[in-house]
Structure 1
């Protein structure tokens, strides 16, 4: 699919913005904008990461940031008899 549309460019505060035509509507809160060597702008929707993907992308904790090892374990459970 190679569809070309003319889009409106406007000022939004101190930034320039592009009004995306309805035909190109997509489900995303963010886009990646890339400028090619010849000056073309490429806009790609950023897909939200799943929780597993987000957790996998996190750096492991350093030794000083880890929780200390548990040395004093809780006592063994006590049998208080049957409850009715």
Structure 2
């Protein structure tokens, strides 16, 4: 994977924008941008919920054995 690539800046309305090449695409729909000196750092945002994290995991292809679930015994009060 390339670690550097020259890109063009352009205007999108009143904002300056840059088209991110395919090899630098970030996952998801949101990102965080910050400035460190003259550099702009763009990082993907972490998933917002456990369901979002689980949705990114591959499905399990194994079967689990049945688990005995007997009724609890009586409780004396």
Structures share fold, TM-score greater than 0.5:
yes
Displacement after TM superposition at 1:51 (Å): 5.3
The answer (yes or no) to whether the contact 2:9–2:17 under 8 Å persists in 1 is yes
The answer (yes or no) to whether the contact 1:28–1:47 under 8 Å persists in 2 is no
List runs of 5+ in structure 2 lacking aligned partners. Answer: 52-77
The answer (yes or no) to whether the contact 2:2–2:23 under 8 Å persists in 1 is no
Aligned residue in 1 for 2:18: 18
**Cα deviations by residue, 1:58-84 (Å, 9 ceiling, x for unpaired):** xxxxxxxxxxxxxxxxxxxxxxxxxxx
Deviates more, 1:43-52 or 1:2-11: 43-52
* Alignment RMSD: 2.1
TM-score by length of 2: 0.56
TM-score by length of 1: 0.52
The answer (yes or no) to whether the contact 1:28–1:45 under 8 Å persists in 2 is yes
Larger radius of gyration: 1
After superposing on structure 2, the runs of 4+ consecutive aligned residues of structure 1 that deviate more than 3 Å are: none
Measure, in 2, the Cα distance between the counterparts of 1:13 and 1:51.
36
Measure, in 2, the Cα distance between the counterparts of 1:51 and 1:45.
17
